[in-house]
Amino acid sequence: MAQLSQHKTTKKIGVLNLQGAVSEHLNALTNIANVLAVAVKDAVQLADLDGLVIPGGESTAISRLINQNNLTLVIKQMALQGKGIFGTCAGLVLCGSSTPQNEVEQLKLIDISVERNGFGRQINSFETTLDIAPIGKQIPAIFIRAPYIVKAGDQVKQLAFVDNHCVMAQQDNVLVCSFHPELTSDNRIIQYFVNCCCS
């Protein structure tokens, strides 16, 4: 019995390794128990995952590279299969369904409309703490050229707000946030995402 209760399934979580905060997410995932974190950039690597992080960076660049690497359908397929997808900052833009300016080809994994750079430019970057009902209180959040969610469909749970702008949301197995949880030592958000990944 003791042996049985010690047995835990390892979840394999990929970080999309095209551009942006890849190593930061890999480091953050390394601190979560029972996770194998891997950098992924092709369809074969993606097919083998329990969950995928689409990191922050530059959404226009990541979008172009997703196209060049023919990953759009593979990522959509993962989401349809119920695998966990976590888009942070630029990753939130990419997971979204529309932006007013239409300058990024989005994956449409979650029914949100996104204002890119909604909180302003690099110089307007800021840090705050958030209370996120299903996760915890006083969670540190770093915003860098951050987007926000301007509209969310009925299926979407809006989880956190800054100045009345939605900055974190979830639709079933797809989680997005405007900020960078991987840049803080508080791993509650990353742990929440890992819990959403089936294995």
Which residues contact ligand GLN by CB under 6 A? Answer: 56-59, 89-90, 93, 116-117, 144-145, 147
Rounded to whole angstroms, how far apart are CA atoms 169 and 192?
13
Q: Looking at 89, 95, 166, 196, which residue is catalytic?
A: 89
2: enclosing H helix or E strand: helix 2-6
Taking the least distance from each CB to ligand GLN, the nearer of 147 and 181 is 147
Query: What is the smallest separation between the CB atom of 144 and ligand GLN, expressed in angstroms?
Result: 4
Q: Positive or negative CA dihedral for 114, 98, 103, 78?
A: positive
Does 180 qualify as catalytic in the annotation?
Answer: yes
Query: What is the smallest separation between the CB atom of 36 and ligand GLN, expressed in angstroms?
Result: 25
Does 103 qualify as catalytic in the annotation?
Answer: no
Classified as helix, coil or strand, 137 is: strand
Any idea what the Cα angle at residue 29 is, between residues 184 and 190, rounded to 5°?
60
Q: Looking at 25, 166, 180, 196, which residue is catalytic?
A: 180
Taking the least distance from each CB to ligand GLN, the nearer of 72 and 117 is 117
Taking the least distance from each CB to ligand GLN, the nearer of 144 and 197 is 144
Does 89 qualify as catalytic in the annotation?
Answer: yes
Rounded to whole angstroms, how far apart are CA atoms 10 and 156?
28
Active site residues: 89, 180, 182
